[in-house]
Amino acid sequence: MMLNWLKFFPYGSREQFARPNIQEIRGPYFAKPRGNKWRFDNSTFYFNAPWANPILGFNGMSRTVESLSPGRRNILNGLWERVSGSAGKSPRIKGQWWFYAKDWYFVGPWFTGWEGCLKASSLLIDTRQDAQPNLFHPRVFESTVADYLDYAFGYDRSAQNPSYRGPLNWYVKPLSSSIQAVVCDLHHIHNGGKDDPRVTRLVFFPVSAHQFVEISFYFVGLDIHDEIRAKPIFALWTQSSIQCA
């Protein structure tokens, strides 16, 4: 136990790239969950997340962290980067703005380097106010999310070829006594990935009468059938504990 700080130090050695079968991975290096909060006018959303760290190394073995945070700013009033072409995805969607991003890396023992990554990205999504009633109404919100997913991840309307499977594992997660989130999974099945899909977990929750948030968790490089890697990476997501006050 005393040497774990060195055994799983985030460094990739080229000499050990052709490594033996990995039996354990860990990450991120500073794994203790820490309190975070996002402010939306008079509402505050709380969640837990560890610090994000890069992986050191040479000759292509290093990994940098993509990091974006709103800090203490009111997210509804912030000047965020607009997602190009976002308004055309669904008739209900007016625009999307990117306000949060983090990468959490997992490494193998003794400088074997990168073994997986949980990547988070968050968007503030603005709907057309004349397109539907208040998003705080549960049925209105679920219908809006379902329509958004259909336009963003449904069939390729030109070739009729599915690139995604889902939404899967759809459920409602209470954030407070009055606000509920929708959680679901998407499987990326293009390029022969039907049996070994890449997984994205999505969380949606309303923040105003016509705006909602999408949090995307990308399980980068993860084979969902590989328990050694899947178990710790999915466990990190379960520690997020999103709440609203």
pLDDT tens for 45-87 read 999 899 999 989 887 788 898 899 999 999 999 889 898 765 5
pLDDT of 127 strictly over 80: yes
More confident: 240 or 24: 24
Return the residue matching tokens 């490089």. Answer: 221
Please give the structure tokens belonging to residue 224: 């969902």
Strands 11-12 and 56-57: parallel
C-alpha distance across the termini of the chain, in Å: 39
Is the omega angle on the peptide bond into residue 91 within 30 degrees of 0, that is, cis?
no
SS3 label, residue 82: strand
pTM: 0.88
* Per-residue pLDDT reduced to its tens digit, 168-191: 999 998 888 888 899 999 888 766
pLDDT band at 158 (very low <50, low <70, confident <90, very high): low
The dihedrals phi and psi of 214, each to the nearest 5 degrees, come to -115, 125
Return the residue matching tokens 């980068």. Answer: 220
The dihedrals phi and psi of 195, each to the nearest 5 degrees, come to -90, -25
Please give the structure tokens belonging to residue 31: 């794994």
Tally Cβ neighbours within 10 Å of residue 128: 14
Sequence-separated (6 or more) residues with CB below 8 Å from residue 104: 27, 28, 49, 50, 52, 117, 118, 119, 120, 236
